[in-house]
Amino acid sequence: MSERRKCNNILLDTALRDFYAAADDMHLDEGLISMLSYPERRLDVSVPVEMEDGSVRVFHGHRVQHSTALGPSKGGIRYALDVSGQECEGLAMLMTWKCSLAGIPYGGGKGGICCDPTSMTRKEKERMSRTFGARIAPIIGRWSDVPAPDMYTGGQEMVWIMDTICKMLGHFEPAMLTGKPVDYWGARGRTEATGRGAATCGLELMKKKGLDPEKMRVSVHGFGNVGSYTAKILRDAGCTIVAISDTTGTYYNPKGINIDKAFEYAEVEPDKRGRKLTGFEKEGCEKLGVDEALFVDCDFLFPCAVQAVINQDTANKVKAKYILEGANSPTTPEGEEILNDAGVIVVPDFLANAGGVIGSYFEWAQNLQGFSWTEEEYNKRLVDLMTDNFCKVWEYSQEHNKTMRRSAYIAAIKRVADILALRGVYL
C-alpha cells in the first residue's frame, strides 16, 4: 500500500479519507492513488493592500490546481479568515470529483485569500482582488484554470480580477473566469444554479422513494446564495420549508416559512447588514440557535452553509431521514457513519451541489462561442444533467448496496483514473 497523506486541516483530511476509502474499494492502482493524493500545483502568494487609513496590510492568498487530467482546473475563489493552502487543496480535490462526476471537461481547482471581507471597504476589496489577480495571473486562463466566485465573492470580484489579468495580457479574454454579471459576459441562470441543482437532486430522491413533495417538510441550514434558492425552488415544487438559518440564527415555523418574505427581508440594506435575516422572527417564526436548523423535525435536510457541522457530536441529533449536502463537506466521516447506522440517506456534496460548476461550464462554453443562451435553455440543460447524474449514482448505489457517497466517489475517481492511465505519468 502506498504511503497515505495525513494532515491537520479537517476539510483536506476528510477529502483524503473519503478518497482513500473509495480507491481501496475499487482496488485502484497504488501509483494512481499516490498521484491523486496531491495537487498538481499550489501557488501561495502575498497580497499587499493599501488600506483606507494609508497603512499597508499583507494578506495571504492561494490558488490550487488539483488535477487537469480532464481539462482546465475549475473552482472558486473565497475570501474568509479560515482560508489556508490546505483548505484550498481539499476543496480543489472535491472539485476534481465534482467535475468528473458531472461529466464536464474540467479538473479541480480552488483558491482564496485569508481575510475578513466584512470589515473591508469596497475600495480595499478592489485593491486586494486586483493584486491577487495579478499574482495568480501566470496560471489562470480559459484553457488552464478557470476561477469562479465562492464564499464572500461574487460577480464584482470576478470583474476586478478578470479586468486586471486582461490588461496584463493586452487582450480581452472573458472565458478565463465565470460567475460574471449577466450584462458583462455572464450567464442567465447562473445565480440560482447551485440551489437549483441541489433542489433537483432532492426532488429526484423523492421520486425514487415514492414521496410526495407536498407532504415533505424541509429544513435548510444556511440562507446564502445556495440555501436561499434551494428553499425557493423546493417551495415552488410544493415542499413546506419549516426552517432556514444564517449566522444570526435559525428561523423555525412548523407550518411553513414564507420564503418570498425571507428573500425580501434578506435583501433590505444588504451592504449594511450583509444580507442577513436579523429580526425575521417577526414574520411568524421562532428564533433558535444558529445550527438548530440541522436538528429540527423534518423529512429532508439541506446543509448549505459551512463544513463539518454534522459530526460525531451532532449527527445523532439529526431528525431528517434524507440529507442533501448543498455545502462543501458539511458531514464528517464520523458523522456519516452515525447517519448510515441510523438508515439516513446522504446525497454527497460533489453530487448535490454540482449545479454551480455545471452552470459555470455553461457560461464558459457560451463565452468561448461568443453566443448567449436563453435562461430557459440554461435551466433545462442544468436540470437534465443534474437528473442524469443523480440517477446514475442512485442506480449504482442500489445495485451494489453502497452509500450514495461511495458510489459517487467510485464513478468520479474511475473517470479521472482512466484518463490518467491513458495519458501516463508525464503530464
pLDDT for res 270: 46
- E strand or H helix at 385: helix 375-400
Question: Residue 259 pairs with which residues in a beta bridge?
Answer: none
Q: End-to-end CA distance of the chain, in Å? A: 23
Query: What does each of the 427 residues of the chain score in pLDDT, given as a tens digit?
Result: 667 888 889 889 989 999 999 999 999 999 999 999 999 999 999 999 999 999 999 999 999 999 999 999 999 999 999 999 999 999 999 999 999 999 999 999 999 999 999 999 999 999 999 999 999 999 999 999 999 999 899 999 999 999 999 999 999 999 999 999 999 999 999 989 999 999 999 999 999 999 999 999 999 999 988 999 999 999 999 999 999 999 899 999 999 999 999 998 887 544 444 568 888 998 899 999 999 999 999 999 999 998 899 999 999 999 999 999 999 889 999 999 999 999 999 999 999 999 999 999 999 999 999 999 999 999 999 999 999 999 999 999 999 999 999 999 999 999 999 999 898 876 4
Tell me the backbone φ, ψ of residue 241, rounded to 5 degrees: -90, 110
DSSP 307-339: TT-BSTTTGGG---SEEE--SSS-B-HHHHHHH
- H helices, E strands: number in the chain: 14, 12
Question: Looking up cell 455545471, which residue turns up?
Answer: 358
Q: Give the predicted TM-score (pTM) of the model.
A: 0.90
Which domains, ranges and CATH numbers included, belong to the chain? 38-176 (3.40.50.10860), 193-347 (3.40.50.720)
Q: Which three cell numbers stand for residue 228?
A: 436561499
One-letter identity of residue 341 = D
One-letter identity of residue 235 = R
- Residues 273-294 as b or e (16 or more Cβ within 10 Å = b): eebbbeebbeeebebbebbbbb
pLDDT for res 274: 53
Annotated active-site positions, please?
110
pLDDT for res 272: 46
- Residues 185-210 as b or e (16 or more Cβ within 10 Å = b): bbbbbbbbbbbbbbbbbbbbbbeeee
- E strand or H helix at 245: strand 240-246
